[in-house]
A and B are shown apart, each in its own frame.
Chain A
């Protein structure tokens, strides 16, 4: 991607994200009274985040791989199950992956 295309992508995406935020503030309250609309939005968030976990944890370009990220995700899941705070979960995952890579795996 060229520098111009990169800046255009960044600015257009930022504008779109701000418009989406502002749109929510301008929506009449009755508009979201529809349970289906609110349910769909909630589920979209779940799907997006789960999909990002898969992409960020298992994708290497267009290949699916198992490397140090996978044990790191297992450690993160265990920490979450034990109700560890957000930042600790992230640090434990990073330390797991970094440690395994320092040992020459993944």
Chain B
């Protein structure tokens, strides 16, 4: 990687990748502690972090299990949350141009953070560096800190006393915050709040999230205007 010493764009991609990796990795402490507290043991918690490796899906699955949800609801929620990684894969695949085992590895490392850093770079070479540095960095640090959180979680006692449940809520808020600029996103966010709040008392855990996703699919498919050119979502298209 001699390109790193001579190319400012590559160095910037590395810097961004490392800082995102550290910030995201540290958050693994919350997941490790919450997962163990939800009744998911150390082994399954680490299996989730190593094999699923998608923060939103991991938190969602553990949340459904912790709320005594069914396995089907847990799998469905995790998979639906993982659906955005399909889009990310389609976006980064042309940038990476990899085949064989590297493509399998790239797929595993395709998450919010690696995609975000990759697409933010000025050229394909920096994008590739940003993707791999972020993907590998988050993978290593996330799993290390999940292990730490899972082990320390037992010693810490109730994670609520440390505010870790609020930390998870805040993390989801931080993830969605930059996506709320378009009017269509604000509309969907409002509908998601209403649907979730209305359903929580009446349906099994996990279902409110799926219902909110279904509302978004309907809005996305029936709204005729193109992304980026949205001025005002069509009111009559919303149930």
* A residues neighboring B (CB under 8 Å): 1, 3, 5-18, 20-27, 29, 31-32, 35-36, 38-59, 61-64, 68-69, 72-73, 76-77, 80, 85-87, 89-99, 101-102
Which residues of B, 182-238, contact A by the 8 Å Cβ criterion? 184-185, 188-189, 191-193, 195-197, 200-202, 205, 208-209, 211-213, 215-217, 219-221, 223, 226-227
* Interchain nearest-CB distance for A82 vs B (Å): 12
Among residues of B, the one whose C-beta sits closest to the C-beta of A17 is B82
Q: How far is the CA of A31 from the CA of B87 in the complex (A)?
A: 11
Beyond A24-B89, A52-B56, whether A9 also contacts B188 by CB under 8 A is: no
Q: How far is the CA of A12 from the CA of B57 in the complex (A)?
A: 13
Question: Are A20 and B83 touching (Cβ within 8 A)?
Answer: yes
* B residues neighboring A (CB under 8 Å): 22-24, 26-27, 30, 39-41, 43-44, 47-48, 51-54, 56-57, 59-61, 63, 65, 67-68, 71, 74-75, 78-94, 103-104, 106-108, 110, 160-177, 179-180, 184-185, 188-189, 191-193, 195-197, 200-202, 205, 208-209, 211-213, 215-217, 219-221, 223, 226-227
Q: How far is the CA of A61 from the CA of B87 in the complex (A)?
A: 32
Question: Are B163 and A68 touching (Cβ within 8 A)?
Answer: yes
Give every chain B residue within 8 A of A94 (Cβ-Cβ).
30, 162-164, 166-167, 170
Give every chain A residue within 8 A of B39 (Cβ-Cβ).
1
Question: Are A87 and B27 touching (Cβ within 8 A)?
Answer: yes
Question: Are B107 and A18 touching (Cβ within 8 A)?
Answer: yes
Question: Are A89 and B51 touching (Cβ within 8 A)?
Answer: no
A-B contact pairs, 5 of them (CB 8 A): A13-B75, A20-B79, A56-B63, A94-B166, A94-B170
Q: How far is the CA of A10 from the CA of B78 in the complex (A)?
A: 10
In this complex, which of A5, A20, A57, A76 has the most chain B Cβ atoms within 10 angstroms of its Cβ?
A20
* Interchain nearest-CB distance for A73 vs B (Å): 6
Among residues of A, the one whose C-beta sits closest to the C-beta of B71 is A9
Question: Are B107 and A21 touching (Cβ within 8 A)?
Answer: yes
In this complex, which of B94, B161, B174, B177 has the most chain A Cβ atoms within 10 angstroms of its Cβ?
B174
Question: Are A25 and B209 touching (Cβ within 8 A)?
Answer: no
Q: How far is the CA of A92 from the CA of B162 in the complex (A)?
A: 11
Q: How far is the CA of A10 from the CA of B52 in the complex (A)?
A: 8
Give every chain A residue within 8 A of B80 (Cβ-Cβ).
44, 48
Question: Are A9 and B74 touching (Cβ within 8 A)?
Answer: yes
In this complex, which of B24, B87, B167, B213 has the most chain A Cβ atoms within 10 angstroms of its Cβ?
B167
Question: Are A40 and B216 touching (Cβ within 8 A)?
Answer: yes
In this complex, which of B106, B188, B211, B226 has the most chain A Cβ atoms within 10 angstroms of its Cβ?
B188
